[in-house]
């Protein structure tokens, strides 16, 4: 085997496949056999693989040769002053240069001297002015000039707008202060949905009372020029005219009411005077046409627009006391004729004077004292019991109404001699039906009893 290896080594040297320097290095038997069998019985694939291996070996040899040459050149440039073992850490040549030690490339500094940590960059590089970074440890806030702080309120979307504005309008129906509503709305970022505040307020008032609609008209009038413009208000009413088919499902009188809102808004200069002119001959919806016709009729009345201030009527505590007393008397008389408790309750709620319900109790008791027979006693007891159970008349209002009768019972007895007896029986019936308390029943004044004195007084009656 050794004789064959020497023979083939000689042949490779003659063919130029091995250099004179490489001939001195012994080869493994496997390598020699692989090279010998090139012309043997190899398949084309094995032959191509063997040629690729030979090319890779030749490249590695060339790379090692070029690396050794570059090392020699660097040593010759330094003049050999820094002698020593190159493999020793203390004897390394050119430790601070930025040349590659990987044996690759041309031995030049990486990235042209601009790479690495703590360097200023390549020669000739011009840096732009950078904005100060607030996260920089050396960042000085006072050196950056005046700092302005502002609160950013996000714009409300459709659902959040309705969820936020509805409670504000509901609360406004209780206190009636338009300035508070404006202050709350100014703190919201309504964006381009600002006009929807008016449509939401009107929609809520359509489901409420006449006093709520009156308050809504005042709110619309006060918001124009401060929160909304006439253009935005007109856009809101235009949206409501388009939504009338949906509004009429909950409020059948919505077209007439919306027409009154439009007329009142024009009279209050919340809508432009030519608002109705834009819709002439352009409306296809019957409900919208009915609302516009209603507004046109109200605006064309001979009494002009002064009467539109009372388009919703005068409700609640704004009515005169005499008018309220008259309404309650009429309510009780109609009840005695019809006996409809629900209708009486509906009429009392429409008056919107919960603080004046003691007058109803007073008038009901007076009618019982002036009536003849047990029918009025029984019906009034039923009515007061219904009002008490539904909470329409509170305990305070019930006690105040009976107490007023107690205070005037002596004068009433002059016109109705049996008033005291009727009163006692009525109180007992009301107590049994849990309309009044035992304390209120016992507070009724008793009739004064005349008595005769002893015989020493001459038979005179002592008062």
Q: Which has the higher per-residue pLDDT, 322 or 453?
A: 322
Q: What is residue 127's DSSP assignment?
A: P
- What is the 3-state secondary structure of 331-390? HHHHHHHHCCHHHHHHHHHHHCCHHHHHHHHHHHHHHHHHCCCCHHHHHHHHHHHHHHHH
Whether the per-residue pLDDT at 271 is higher than 70: the answer is yes
What is residue 313's predicted lDDT score, i.e. its pLDDT?
67
Q: What is the DSSP string of 152-184?
A: PPPPP-HHHHHHHHHHHHHHHHHH--HHHHHHH
Instruction: Identify which of 316, 350, 347, 314 has the alpha carbon closest to the alpha carbon of residue 329.
Output: 347
Q: Which has the higher per-residue pLDDT, 297 or 139?
A: 297
Given a contact cutoff of 8 angstroms between Cβ atoms, the answer to whether 255 and 297 are in contact is no
Mean pLDDT calculated for residue range 279-286: 85
Given a contact cutoff of 8 angstroms between Cβ atoms, the answer to whether 38 and 47 are in contact is yes
103: left (phi over 0), alpha (psi -120 to 50) or beta: left
Q: pLDDT band at residue 13, thresholds of 50, 70 and 90?
A: very low
What is residue 98's predicted lDDT score, i.e. its pLDDT?
57
DSSP three-state, residue 199: helix
What is residue 25's predicted lDDT score, i.e. its pLDDT?
45
What is residue 462's predicted lDDT score, i.e. its pLDDT?
47
What is residue 73's predicted lDDT score, i.e. its pLDDT?
58
Q: Which has the higher per-residue pLDDT, 415 or 112?
A: 415
Percent over 90 (pLDDT), the chain: 26
What is residue 20's predicted lDDT score, i.e. its pLDDT?
45
Whether the per-residue pLDDT at 423 is higher than 80: the answer is yes
User: Using CA atoms, how far apart are residues 333 and 360, in angstroms rounded to an integer?
Assistant: 12
User: Using CA atoms, how far apart are residues 275 and 265, in angstroms rounded to an integer?
Assistant: 10
Mean pLDDT calculated for residue range 130-147: 75
What is residue 383's predicted lDDT score, i.e. its pLDDT?
93
What is residue 315's predicted lDDT score, i.e. its pLDDT?
60
Q: pLDDT band at residue 63, thresholds of 50, 70 and 90?
A: confident
**Residue 216 C-beta-side C-alpha neighbours within 13 Å:** 27
- End-to-end CA distance of the chain: give it in Å, rounded: 164
Whether the per-residue pLDDT at 19 is higher than 50: the answer is no
Give per-residue pLDDT as tens, 387-402: 999 988 999 999 999 9
Q: pLDDT band at residue 203, thresholds of 50, 70 and 90?
A: very high
The mean pLDDT of the chain is 78
Give per-residue pLDDT as tens, 292-318: 998 888 888 745 455 566 677 656 656
Whether the per-residue pLDDT at 375 is higher than 60: the answer is yes
User: Using CA atoms, how far apart are residues 2 and 257, in angstroms rounded to an integer?
Assistant: 120
What is residue 166's predicted lDDT score, i.e. its pLDDT?
92
CA distances from 243 to 165, 202, 283, 284 (A): 19, 12, 13, 13
Q: Which has the higher per-residue pLDDT, 146 or 103?
A: 146
Q: Is residue 256 exposed (0-12), middle (13-18) or buried (19+ Cβ within 10 Å)? A: middle
Question: In terms of pTM, does the model score above 0.85?
Answer: no
Q: pLDDT band at residue 100, thresholds of 50, 70 and 90?
A: low
Whether the per-residue pLDDT at 460 is higher than 90: the answer is no
CA distances from 366 to 101, 140, 369 (A): 118, 85, 5
Instruction: Identify which of 336, 423, 425, 347 has the alpha carbon closest to the alpha carbon of residue 387.
Output: 347
Q: Is residue 306 exposed (0-12), middle (13-18) or buried (19+ Cβ within 10 Å)? A: exposed
Give per-residue pLDDT as tens, 238-253: 999 999 999 888 888 8
Q: What is residue 453's DSSP assignment?
A: -
User: Using CA atoms, how far apart are residues 325 and 266, in angstroms rounded to an integer?
Assistant: 35
What is residue 168's predicted lDDT score, i.e. its pLDDT?
93
Q: pLDDT band at residue 137, thresholds of 50, 70 and 90?
A: confident
Give per-residue pLDDT as tens, 70-85: 666 555 555 544 444 5
Q: Strand pairing partners for 21? A: none
What is residue 99's predicted lDDT score, i.e. its pLDDT?
56
DSSP three-state, residue 278: helix
Q: pLDDT band at residue 158, thresholds of 50, 70 and 90?
A: confident
Instruction: Identify which of 305, 198, 303 has the alpha carbon closest to the alpha carbon of residue 260.
Output: 305
The listed range with the strongest mean pLDDT (138-152, 193-207, 294-308) is 193-207
């Amino acid at each position: 085997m050794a004789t064959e290896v020497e023979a083939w080594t000689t042949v490779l040297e003659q063919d130029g496949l091995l250099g004179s320097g490489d001939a001195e290095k012994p080869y493994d038997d496997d390598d020699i056999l692989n090279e010998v069998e090139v012309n043997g019985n190899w398949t084309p694939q094995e032959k191509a693989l063997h040629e690729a291996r030979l090319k890779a070996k030749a490249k590695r040899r060339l790379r090692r040769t070029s690396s050794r040459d570059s090392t020699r050149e660097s040593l010759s440039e330094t003049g050999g002053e820094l002698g020593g073992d190159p493999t020793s850490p203390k004897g390394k040549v050119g430790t601070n240069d930025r040349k590659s030690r990987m044996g690759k490339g041309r031995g030049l500094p990486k990235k042209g001297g601009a790479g690495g940590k703590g360097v200023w960059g390549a020669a000739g590089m011009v840096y732009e002015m950078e904005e100060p970074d607030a996260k920089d440890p050396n960042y000085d806030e006072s050196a950056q000039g005046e700092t302005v702080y502002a609160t950013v309120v996000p714009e409300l979307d459709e659902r959040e707008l309705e969820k936020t504005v509805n409670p504000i309008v509901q609360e406004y129906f209780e206190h009636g202060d338009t300035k508070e509503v404006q202050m709350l709305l100014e703190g919201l970022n309504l964006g381009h949905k600002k006009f929807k505040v008016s449509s939401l307020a009107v929609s809520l008032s359509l489901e409420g009372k006449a006093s709520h609609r009156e308050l809504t008209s005042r709110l619309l009038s006060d918001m124009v020029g401060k929160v909304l413009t006439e253009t935005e208000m007109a856009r809101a009413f235009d949206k409501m005219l388009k939504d009338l088919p949906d509004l009429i499902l909950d409020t059948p009188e919505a077209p007439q009411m919306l027409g009154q809102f439009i007329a009142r808004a024009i009279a209050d200069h919340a809508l432009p005077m030519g608002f109705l002119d834009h819709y002439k001959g352009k409306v296809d919806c019957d409900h919208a046409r009915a609302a516009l016709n209603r507004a046109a009729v109200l605006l064309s009345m001979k009494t002009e627009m002064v009467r539109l201030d009372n388009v919703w009527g005068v409700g609640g505590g704004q009515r005169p006391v005499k008018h309220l007393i008259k309404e309650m008397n009429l309510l009780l008389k109609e009840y005695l004729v019809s006996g409809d408790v629900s209708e009486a309750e509906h009429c009392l709620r429409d008056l919107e004077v919960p603080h004046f319900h003691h007058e109803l109790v007073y008038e009901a008791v007076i009618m019982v004292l002036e009536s003849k027979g047990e029918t009025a006693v029984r019906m009034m007891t039923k009515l007061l019991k219904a009002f008490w159970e539904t909470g329409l008349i509170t305990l305070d209002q019930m006690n105040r109404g009976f107490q007023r009768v107690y205070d005037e019972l002596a004068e009433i007895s002059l016109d109705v001699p049996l008033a005291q007896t009727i009163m006692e029986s009525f109180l007992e019936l009301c107590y049994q039906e849990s309309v009044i308390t035992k304390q209120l029943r016992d507070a009724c004044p008793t009739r004064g009893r005349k008595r005769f004195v002893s015989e020493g007084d001459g038979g005179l009656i002592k008062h």
